[in-house]
A and B are shown apart, each in its own frame.
Chain A
Amino acid sequence: MRFNRFFRASAGLAGVAGLFFLTTNHATAQEGPDDLFNRGVALLQDGQYPGAEEAFSTMIERFERDAERLFGPRFGTVYFHRGVALEGQRRFQEAADDFEVSATRFANRAGDRRINPYATMSLLHVGGALMRIENPDYELVLEVFQRFQRQVEDDPPDAANIAYNRATLLANIAISEARAQRPRNAAQTFRRLMSDPGGFCRETRSNFQKTQQTVHAAASEIVESFQVNDIPDAGLEFVDEFRPALTEDRAISYFYTPRYLEAASNAAREGYYAFALSIYSILPTSQQVLDGLALNRARLEAFPHADGRPREMANVLDRIEQRVIEDMESGTPVDAWVLDGVARVFFLNGNQQAAYGTYRTLIDMFPNSQLRPQMLYFAAATASTTGRLAATQQYGERFLEEYPDHELRDRVEELLLESLFWNARYEEALAVGKDVRERATQDDMFELSDFVIGGSLYFLGRFPEAERELRAFREKWPDSERTEPARYYLADNLARLNRFVEAGAMLDSFLNDYPNSELLDLALYSRANVHYNQEELNPAVTRLGQFLSQRPNSEIRDQALNLLGNINDSLGNTETAEQNYRDALAFARRLGNRSTAAQSLIFLMGLLSEDEERDEEVVELAEEFFRDHPNDLNRARAAVVPLDAMDRLGRIDEGLARIESLIPTFGEDLEAAGMEDLILAYVKHAEAGGLSMEELRERLYNFPRVPESAVALRARLMMALIDFYEQRINEEDDEATVARMEGEIRGVFGQLRREFPIESLSNYILVRVGDYLVRYEEFAAAREYFDRAIESPDTEFQDRATFNLGFLLLLSESREDNRRAFGYFDRIMEDFRFDRLLVEETFRMRALGHEMLEEWDRVESVWREYLRYEGGAFRRYQTEAFYKIGLSFDRRGQWEAAMDNYAQVWVLDPGNLLFSAPAWFRMAEINFHERGHKQNAYENLWDMVRRAAGGIGHLEAEEQRILDNPDQYADRLNRRLMADRLQRNYIAHAKRELEVWERDPGVTAKSDEP
């Protein structure tokens, strides 16, 4: 294009110049100035710029010294043409220098008729060339253009040769102003360009031909300049003002799309969002470009020359078409870039919906785009934030499948994991979390997967596993951002494991550390619940008070009200409790918390069923429950609670029918709340409902609509049969019937062991089968059942299983096992501290354990603690306690202390000969052997034997109890420990001892037998 322009300009010039030079008398022999000049021009016309340059340079070399004299200003044409030749070689600085020489050194002057026809036009060319050098000085360029404009206005001698396109000059000035960081000036110049009336202007000697190229070349620079100069508002106004012009032609502007895109992208990055959007809004889509090309091709400017040569405009259109097609074929056309940019603006402004919608389209429309990984990532991310779980998974998984090694892989996995977890898809979160943890290489992925695994286990109710994971998480990632939820999960998890002491402490510390936690309501509720379970009713009320005042709109307010009802019920405030439950019910219904509403109904039923006068209401509530919540998890309890009221109202058959219809609905649901109660209640009320024992047995074995495959349920029903037989054995006098029932029990237990996989059994059954195995001394097998119970998500009977495991470890021959037993007892002492009965038994078991290990100081301390327990001293085993404390001193050779404690045994319960007899005996022995009170010792022992023989006390009964109750594990252990002191051994032993002592010189023997 430059060539064409020069060609036309120099073609005109050649005639003039040739004529000029020919008139001089300085033609050389070799090649005169005209020859040289004409040769240069001809070479320029052929596009042979180096040759042309050489011709003009030769001319300058040969004539420059006398140029002023010989040619005057006209010699400037030589510099002008050499400038053009240099421009053709892209040597813009040298070209600008030559144009400058033509414009200044060879400027026209008054009186000199040897006119340089290009003196003024040279200035325009200086500006043009300076714009194209590396790192142009745009202030200088602008200065040059101003000189040009001033010179034109001065009507110079070369005015006849001044011809230029005003639109182009204005565009170049605007571009230079923009690049000189004066965007407002540039915009003003652009405004002149756009408002120019067009046509030839006599004053400026310019025509006006504004093309889309001119418009966009300037506009794109100006837009960019506004952004660079941090004046986005002015930029926004600029785009808004010229939007119609900038969007008029959708084809040519495509050339300038990269610059616009970059400006928009930078504006977005700088936070100039409205400006960024306004820039994006003027860009064409690929289809618009293609449509626009067809119309542009029908413009005259694109029509070929007469000889068929294409015009520059046609070339431009071809190039645009080629590029838009290339861009489309590349998979990332302009549409993808712009949509990505627009979506990102919305995304950066927290508007995830837009980003989601846009990325969804991008993914569908540009499957081969280089941006696809980012598209999939953002689609998944925004789908997640906008609550579209399926889409999150879909895009996330597609990413992982298509880009398994992409650098964003971790992010996507993180996203999927978080999304699954926070959307309560815990089973999947757990599976993915484990998978991620196996493959993770980065700490943050380890951390996240640890958290999700622990949290998911917690939400899935797999509390023992959850505890391990959450504890590990806390230890491994003490500074994690997820510490807060993890601490809450762990604390509440412990509460659900009934380890209330530890849970309570953790919750207290959580509440202390996070007084404004998002989880505050949950933590307060959990803490209140723990207090309630520890029978600390007043602190529970305090925590619930905090809950209701600090989180009045909590989504678990209904649950808190239910708990408050329970507490008030425990405190005997039945009216308040009823109101609490009714409030909870109303609130739950308003929030749509169906399960809590169902729970409120059950609590209400329970409360009202204590008052026989309200039986009708209870039954109505039950009907309401089964109408509104027929599939509620607690439906079993809801069926059981009103049974007594129904019985009293003579409607027990309805209750039983309901249970019969309910039982099969549980299928294999091991966690079904109240299942045991349901079956037990069924059995309990069966007779009242008219079932004979045989019928009940048959019914439990083959329960209606319970298929063979429902193993967990069948196991429960069989267990109910055992319970039923055991209860009847206690009431039955007929030995044959008892024997038959005992046989049945053994048969059912055997069947439970053989036919039911251990994992299908509930904790109740596991503990019962374990106990059964202990009775028959199958200790190893029993341990399996107890182990399974404490690992099970079922929290029922875990206390018992824990206790029994401790016991079994004490029975082991291995010292290591024996010591491990104390771990289980410690857990009971902590987690089940509220259960005094269990704690008391555990004290005894611990003391026995230490006794077995002959750790006498421990024996003493445990029993002492037992006698002074902070929650209220225990009494049940105090005789044994004093005896064992005495024994501990005895074994350590501390005779006086031993004597004191043995004496206490006699003071407290002399009739409890299991302990009082050996205490008496040891007192005598110590007196005899250690203290030398031989006569006294002899008489005491004699007296004791006499009394025992006379049947004083209840030694035999005590001994019998121990032997008859193999399920009383402490007694069982004691029997082992006390074997040598049991009555039958002991009397014989004492008699033998008396015979020995009678022969001692220090003893005066009695004449008669004791």
Chain B
Amino acid sequence: MKKFAIFATTCLLALAGAGNVAAQSAPSGDEEMERGIQAPPSVRAIIRAEVDGSVQTLLGIFLFKVEDGEIIYADNPESFNAERLPVAAIQNVAVELPEVIENALSAYRARQFDDALPLLNRVVRRYEPLRDLDFLPIRQAEIYRFDCMRRMGEFDQLRDELAVLEREEFTSSEQAVLSVFPAWEAHAAEDWPRVRVITRDPDSVPPGPAAAEMAFLRGEALRHLAERESSERAEMLNDALAEYHRAMTMDYTFSRDLVGDAAIAALRIYDADERVAEYFRRWGTPDFSETAGYVIPVREAAWLAYMIETMDLDGRELPEDLQRFSGLFARFADDLEEAARGEQEDEATAAQAPELAGAEDDIEDLNAGDEGGGDDEPEDE
């Protein structure tokens, strides 16, 4: 094992200046490629690990791959020396993400899927040997890549790749996300029975975007299958409604496009509901009653339409054929005020103050820590 002296202060400062983004002096993966360097792709890092019974800091090393539970690294990106370090020995690590990874992740987060996909392809391909490292977002990039394919409608490729994917290499939360893609593929093929089977256990996915997608897909399956199975139609549509609504809530409405799509799909169910028809038929006639059962689905639909019209749902708009729900929410305004008042007055069921451990004191400390002095730069070693 090569012993590392603490010699690289300048290198550290260079890294520090750029935060966890590319350092001025460090060649990015892309640059390497552009320069035609044939060296294997690597990620620059500092590692603090227990080596031969003592803790050492490996500065400015380059990580190449993980093999049999060991990291293979070198102190030079172009000369591959087979230094090995058990992953388990690592105590701390700091990495300098290559620009290609940063760019790929940024493009994906900015929802520029067309741009993101080739970058993510490159990331996954180049850094595949390092995908087992939890502190690198390689597996995340791989998942984003599938998502780009799905959003761009490249389902054939998605299906082929998922077919050979080694899922056990992913963490359980990543697997939960992966489990949604086959359902998207079946959804694109309008193979509703398959969507229904894949999404049969929507509660197994913890809250988050995957849970929202799973719920949306199940809603889609149930809605379409309901048209075929008249005996259970009402029940299936009701369940589809619940799933669409779960899609709108399971990731706290983070996935705005999904919220919009689910809301519109749910509105279509309401639109075809005989009770809703009865509401519109009776509205304005002496026959109308504000407390009748047909008001319940209309209130639900009115809120969804309101949501679509007032929230930025990634460009989703209330479709032309659902315009009768537009502005309907205002009819229930008084009820809502009353409900809100009731909620406030009702101690038993009123929203409770959260009791999470994150406390004001900590926020203060963080503020205070930041405050004033411009002193967050790392010290000289």
- Which residues of chain A have a CB within 8 Å of any CB of chain B? 1-2, 4-5, 8-9, 121, 124-125, 128, 131-132, 163-169, 171-172, 175, 206-207, 209, 211, 213-214, 217, 220, 236, 240, 244, 247-248, 254-259, 261-262, 265, 268-271, 274, 277-278, 280-283, 285-288, 290-291, 294-295, 297-306, 308, 311-312, 314, 316, 319, 323, 326-327, 330, 332-335, 337-344, 346, 348-358, 360-361, 364-365, 370-371, 374, 377-378, 385-388, 407-408, 411, 516, 518, 550-553
Contacts and interface: CB of A to CB of B under 8 A. Distances in A.
A316 B135 CA distance: 17
B293 to A, nearest CB: 9
30 contacts: A125-B372, A128-B368, A128-B371, A163-B373, A166-B374, A209-B19, A209-B377, A217-B363, A259-B360, A281-B254, A282-B254, A295-B135, A298-B93, A323-B356, A327-B357, A330-B355, A333-B356, A337-B354, A338-B207, A339-B249, A349-B306, A350-B303, A351-B304, A354-B246, A354-B249, A358-B245, A360-B246, A388-B238, A411-B348, A518-B292
Contacts of A163: 373-374
Nearest to A206: B374
A427 B241 CA distance: 30
B362 A255 contact: yes
Contact of B369 (A1, A175, A283): A1
B94 A302 contact: yes
Contacts of B93: 297-298, 303
B45, B252, B281: residue with the most chain A Cβ atoms closer than 10 Å: B252
B246 A300 contact: no
Given A300-B20, A333-B356, 10 more contacts: A9-B375, A125-B372, A169-B372, A209-B374, A211-B370, A278-B311, A285-B207, A298-B45, A343-B249, A411-B348
Contacts of A518: 289, 291-292
Contacts of B256: 281
A303 B373 contact: no
Contacts of A5: 372-373, 375
Interface in B83-124: 92-96, 109-110
Contact of B109 (A248, A261, A308, A378): A248
Contact of B337 (A271, A339, A357): A271
Contacts of A286: 206
B20 to A, nearest CB: 4
A352 B300 contact: yes
Nearest to B254: A281
B359 A285 contact: no
Interface stretch (B34-42, B69-77, B148-156, B339-347): B339-347
Contacts of B364: 132
Given A165-B374, A214-B370, A358-B245, A280 B358 contact: no
Contacts of A1: 365, 368-369
Interface of B: 6, 15-16, 19-20, 45-46, 48, 55, 57, 92-96, 109-110, 134-137, 140, 173, 203, 206-208, 211, 215, 238, 241-246, 248-254, 256, 266, 278, 281-282, 286-287, 289, 291-292, 296, 299-300, 302-304, 306-307, 310-312, 329, 332, 335-337, 339-340, 343-344, 348-349, 351-360, 362-379, 381
B281 A165 contact: no
B337 to A, nearest CB: 7
Given A288-B208, A297-B135, A305-B379, A281 B252 contact: yes
B376 to A, nearest CB: 5
Given A271-B336, A334-B356, A335-B206, A259 B375 contact: no
B381 to A, nearest CB: 4
A164 B373 contact: yes
A327 B356 contact: yes
B253 A342 contact: yes
B57, B332, B365: residue with the most chain A Cβ atoms closer than 10 Å: B365
A291 B296 contact: no
Contacts of B287: 550-553
Contacts, number: 317
Contacts of A371: 352
Contact of B363 (A9, A259, A282): A259
A274 B354 contact: no
A305 B376 CA distance: 13
B249 A357 contact: yes
B254 to A, nearest CB: 5
Pairs of residues from A and B, 9 with the lowest C-beta to C-beta distance, nearest first: A350-B299, A354-B245, A298-B135, A1-B369, A357-B246, A165-B374, A164-B374, A303-B94, A306-B381
Contacts of A552: 287
Contacts of A341: 351
B57 A274 contact: no
Given A357-B242, A360-B242, A257 B358 contact: yes
A922 B378 CA distance: 133
Contact of B300 (A283, A337, A339, A353): A353
A93 B315 CA distance: 50
A374 B343 CA distance: 13
A408 B346 CA distance: 11
A583 B215 CA distance: 45
Nearest to B357: A323
A317 to B, nearest CB: 11
A168 B206 contact: no
Contacts of B378: 300-301, 311
Contact of B110 (A220, A244, A256): A244
Given A306-B381, A354-B248, A408 B207 contact: no
Contacts of B289: 516, 518
Contacts of A361: 203, 207, 211, 246, 250
Contacts of B359: 258
Contacts of A277: 252-253, 307, 311
Contacts of A305: 379, 381
Contacts of A408: 348-349
A214 B337 CA distance: 37
Contacts of A516: 286, 289
B174 to A, nearest CB: 8
Given A217-B363, A361-B203, A265 B48 contact: no
Contacts of B252: 277, 280-281, 283, 285, 338-339, 342
Contacts of A334: 354, 356
Contact of B134 (A248, A294, A346): A294
